[in-house]
Amino acid sequence: MKKRIFSGVQPSGNLHIGNYLGAIANWVKLQDEFESIFCVVDMHAITVPQDPETLRKKTIEIAKIYLAAGISAKGGSASGGDPTFPIIFIQSQVPEHTELMWILNTISKMSELEKMTQFKDKTQKGGSEGAAVGLFDYPVLMAADILLYGTEVVPVGEDQKQHVELARDLAKRFNQKFGETFIIPKAFIKEEGMRVMGLDNPEKKMSKSAESAYNRIELLDDEETIRRKIKKAVTDSGSEIVYSDDKPALKNLINIYAAFSNKSPKEIEKMYMGKGYGDFKAELAEVIIGFLTPFQEKYSALSDEEVLEILKDGAEKVRPIAKEKLDEVKTKVGFIV
């Protein structure tokens, strides 16, 4: 029997090549080997303020990105027989997620949520006093997403590792208290290189919510924008193209070049021996454009209607799986189901 994988992206901000290389590209590679479920996590997105119309638009946009990237989910197969994978769906269309979250809340500790780096980062500016309780509780909802489906593998970027660890801890704690119920999931994180750093600051990860658009290459950026952003990307002192830890900006750019060209950093170093940043950056922009152009063509060919249909079908397919697990959990804690 195939093992199951589950992952998701929030429909907030514009997806960038970090999201693609760190997460979605791995989903595409793993989708046939596993029973794959990919979610658009709109309930996570509202842990920071969102404009409702924009959230709706972004939810469809993320699903289109999954499909254009190569996730081969299809509609029209919900009724009758076993569900076919991969499945994509919208988190808020499956209420079992929040129901399980509530139960997991009762075994989660304040102290373990207070340790979460993402919460600390996101409340750094304004302090935690005024932060939404939902932002604090975000990792418990994520644990519910994962545990509801008997997930064994969670393909995410490195920044999400701590959250997957919490899901493991909660699963173990619940099993210990109430008997074997949850599979203990594992994070799947691509080896070094796939933590894409900000183009304007190689010390911090490329991020949807970074203020400057020059922080990231967005998956829907046009050619001119990509050329401009790469040209403006910060570089290190010196003029040679070398891959080393003391040149973090260049290392990041070489990693991006490597990921989109299937060349190793060593090969890239060689190609640019005796050449400078100008040549390297100009060709890096073209390598990215070479990848994003066909991706964007596939994206544009998808209509909102067909994508909504696939998502609705996906929610219908996952609900029975979610309900079965939730009923088991409810019974174990003493609810009458």
Q: Which residues bind ligand LTN (CB under 6 A)?
A: 6-10, 41, 44, 142, 145-146, 154, 156, 160, 163
CB of 15 closer than 8 Å to CB of 208 = yes
SS (H, E, C) 131-175: CCHHHHHHHHHHHHHHHCCCCCEEECCHHHHHHHHHHHHHHHHHH
Residue 142 contacts which entry, ligand ATP, ligand LTN, none (Cβ below 5-8 A, type-dependent): ligand LTN
CB of 305 to ligand LTN, least distance (A): 26
Give the gyration radius of the chain's Cα atoms: 21
- The stretch near ligand ATP (CB under 6 A) out of 73-81, 178-186, 188-196, 299-307 is 188-196
Among 186, 195, 231, 323, binds ligand ATP (CB under 6 A): 195
Distance of alpha carbon 234 from its chain centroid, rounded? 25
CA–CA separation, 285 vs 305, rounded Å? 33
CB of 6 to ligand LTN, least distance (A): 5
- At 135, which amino acid appears? L
Residue 154 contacts which entry, ligand LTN, ligand ATP, none (Cβ below 5-8 A, type-dependent): ligand LTN
Task: Tell whether residue 139 is a contact of ligand ATP (CB under 6 A).
Answer: no
**122 catalytic per annotation:** yes
Q: What is the pattern of x (binds ligand ATP, CB under 6 A) and - over residues 143-182?
A: -------------xx-xx----------------------
Task: Tell whether residue 208 is a contact of ligand ATP (CB under 6 A).
Answer: yes
**29 catalytic per annotation:** no
Among 19, 201, 215, 261, binds ligand ATP (CB under 6 A): 19
Which of residues 154 and 307 has its CB atom nearest to ligand LTN in the complex?
A: 154
Backbone angles phi, psi at 230, to 5 degrees: -65, -40
**317 catalytic per annotation:** no
Catalytic residue among 3, 74, 186, 208: 208
To 10 degrees, what angle do helices 52-69 and 277-301 make? 100
CB of 182 closer than 8 Å to CB of 103 = no
CB of 253 closer than 8 Å to CB of 243 = no
- At 309, which amino acid appears? E
Residues serving a catalytic function are 122, 205, 208
